Amino acid sequence: MTISSDPVFWHRLQFAFTATYHYIFPQLTMGLAPLIVLWKWRAIRSGDARYAEAARFWTRIFGLTFAVGVVTGIPLEFQFGTDWAGFSRYAGGVVGQTLAMEGMFAFFLESALVGTLVFGEARLSRRAHFAVSVGVCAGSWLSAYFILATNAFMQHPVGFAIAPDGSLQLADLGGYLMNSWAWSMLAHNQSAALVSGAFVVAGTGAYYQLRGVHKWQAHMYLRWGVTLGLIASVIVAFPTGDHQAKLVARNQEVALAAMEGRFNSGPMAPITLIGQPNVVERRLDNPIALPGVLSFLAYGTFHADVRGLTAFPEDTWPTSIEPLYYAFHIMAGLGTFFIALMGLATLDSWRGRLEARRALLWALMLALPFPFIANAAGWMTAEMGRQPWLVYGLYRTRDGASDVVSAGNTIFTLIGFCGLYLVLGLLYLYLVGRDVARGPAHDVGASGELAVIE
């Protein structure tokens, strides 16, 4: 069967595309929300209206980002049924718990309050509006937890039993919700979202500084952006990324081998900086590697034995080794770059001379898209590393797709999403670009009818 008529390939591509695109927006809202909360709090404590102004400016961008996140998120829940009917039948009794909880606990909270956050400032006391921002922030992070708990079950199933008909059923709700994998992912993923938020804030500050406009706001975006950016970037790598890697090494050993393009087993396993996996020849071409580092990262000693792909049966290998290898290396490479850039910038910011460093400001501005790429690459690592399983070790991806849907229908809807999401993306960039060009000082806090909720 060629790829183009294999329905499973198209189901996977459709879900990968819609989920990756969707996640551009929530990572930014989850990254911005805590900053908005902090600024509103500072504004109340210090009475400095400029903090309130900053919160208002970013709340406006938050509102638009949130809306795009909502509309691109709605399809995903239903795609479990349309495209992954096999999986829904098999695991719905378990993963349905967290998906329903997300709607009931997180979405109701966010949907009721976000309008009041974006448009209701004039009608509330400062404290009430601050409380609303805390509610929206909590809702967005709560939503992340429920999704990550769902994904963690697919990575590392716990708290279930197997029903007589072979499907999964819930055995222990507490165990399912407290999945160690979920908490590890939550820490890693949320700090990565904070990196995205920090880069957007710092990049915008750098842009204003380079133009010489909105001086005070630029100063503050830079200072808060780079400080948060450094803290979050470090946490993404250590301890959260490190812990995540150790979980993979312990529970998904074959995925670790594929992520590193490692075919042969042995001690002193190197970590590859650059190289091209050659799956047919079972080797890595042109490797530049640091010996022993993979052994150390995965097991804590340089001499630990790290098994390569050939040590595992081929039908348990991840199905797309090359993209998995690159996704992992892009994520890790960018993560390292973030620490370096934000480290330099924070040092200068504390010494009070970041505003004068034009080259660094340019770098901060141009680096703005990179955390989004790193976040997407991180998720691709997790999801392609899980293959060929849909529920790790229990249920194969191939069995989970909707068998009644032909490739033609899936390609049709994929094309539809491509067109629709292209329009959405252009619209979003245009409107956010316009808001950024206007800048915070001119933000009147209200535009259009949604602005006034009496």
Partner 1 sequence: MTRAWYVLLALMFAAFAVGEGWDFGTGALHLLVARSPAERRQVVRAIAPLYSWNEVWLIAAGGVLFLAFPKVFATALSGYYLAVFLLLWCLVLRGIALEVVGHLADPMWQAFWDAVFAGSSALLALLFGAAFGNVLRGVPLGDDGRMFLPLFTDFGTRGRVGILDWYTMSVALFTLVLLAAHGATGLARRTGGPLELRSQRYAKWLWPAVVILLLVVSVETGLVRPGFFASIAQRPAAWLAVFALAAGLFSVLLGMLRGRQSLAFAGSCLVVAGLVGGAAASMYPEMLHSTLDPANSITAANGAADEHGLRMALVWWPIALVLSLGYAGYVARRTGGKVYIEETRAVIALSSQRPE
Contacts of partner 1 in 146-175 (CB under 8 A):
163, 167, 169-171, 173
Task: Please answer whether residues 26 and 140 qualify as being in contact, where contact means their C-beta atoms are separated by less than 8 angstroms.
Answer: yes
Instruction: Closer to partner 1 by CB, 276 or 413: give it.
Output: 413
Residues numbered 73-112 forming contacts with partner 1, rule: CB under 8 A:
74-75, 77-78, 80-83, 85-86, 88-89, 91-97, 99-105, 107-109, 111-112
Task: Please answer whether residues 303 and 372 qualify as being in contact, where contact means their C-beta atoms are separated by less than 8 angstroms.
Answer: no
Burial class (CB in 10 A: 0-12, 13-18, 19+), 170: middle
Torsion angle of C-alpha atoms 84, 89, 94, 100, degrees rounded to 10: 70
CB of 265 to partner 1, least distance (A): 41
Closest CA to 263 of 279, 274, 250: 279
Closest CA to 401 of 92, 8, 76, 88: 8
Give the interface segment with partner 1, choosing from 25-33, 65-73, 341-349, 371-379 (CB under 8 A). Answer: 65-73
Residue from 47, 267, 416, 433 binding partner 1 (CB under 8 A): 416
Instruction: Closer to partner 1 by CB, 149 or 294: give it.
Output: 149
Instruction: Closer to partner 1 by CB, 167 or 316: give it.
Output: 167
Q: How far is CA 291 from CA 97, 154, 288, 295, 301, in A?
A: 44, 32, 10, 9, 12
Residue from 67, 158, 394, 436 binding partner 1 (CB under 8 A): 67
Helix (H, G, I), strand (E, B) or coil at 117: helix
Instruction: Closer to partner 1 by CB, 113 or 331: give it.
Output: 113
Instruction: Closer to partner 1 by CB, 42 or 56: give it.
Output: 56
CB of 451 to partner 1, least distance (A): 5
**Cα 224 from Cα 218, distance rounded (Å):** 10
Residue from 64, 213, 293, 394 binding partner 1 (CB under 8 A): 64
Q: How far is CA 345 from CA 74, 310, 354, in A?
A: 38, 44, 7
By CB under 8 A, the count of residues binding partner 1 is: 80
Please give the helix or strand (H or E) that residue 283 lies within, else none: strand 283-290
Residues numbered 388-407 forming contacts with partner 1, rule: CB under 8 A:
402-405
CB of 170 to partner 1, least distance (A): 4
CB of 215 to partner 1, least distance (A): 16
Give the interface segment with partner 1, choosing from 115-123, 212-220, 286-294, 348-356 (CB under 8 A). Answer: 115-123
Told to check if 204 binds partner 1 by CB under 8 A, we report no
Q: Helices (H), strands (E): how many in the chain? A: 16, 6
Residues numbered 123-142 forming contacts with partner 1, rule: CB under 8 A:
123-124, 135
**Cα 345 from Cα 199, distance rounded (Å):** 11
Residue from 48, 158, 413, 425 binding partner 1 (CB under 8 A): 413
Q: Which two tokens stand for residue 302?
A: 């340089």
Instruction: Closer to partner 1 by CB, 15 or 326: give it.
Output: 15
Task: Kindly give the interhelix angle for 126-155 and 180-211, rounded to the nearest 10 degrees.
Answer: 130
Told to check if 454 binds partner 1 by CB under 8 A, we report yes
Q: How far is CA 27 from CA 176, 180, 231, 270, in A?
A: 24, 22, 17, 32
Told to check if 281 binds partner 1 by CB under 8 A, we report no
- Rama region for 68: left / alpha / beta (φ>0; ψ in -120 to 50; rest): alpha
Residues numbered 421-440 forming contacts with partner 1, rule: CB under 8 A:
424, 427, 431, 434, 438-439
Instruction: Closer to partner 1 by CB, 63 or 270: give it.
Output: 63
Instruction: Closer to partner 1 by CB, 96 or 343: give it.
Output: 96
Residue from 293, 394, 436, 451 binding partner 1 (CB under 8 A): 451
CB of 117 to partner 1, least distance (A): 11
Residue from 26, 34, 120, 378 binding partner 1 (CB under 8 A): 120
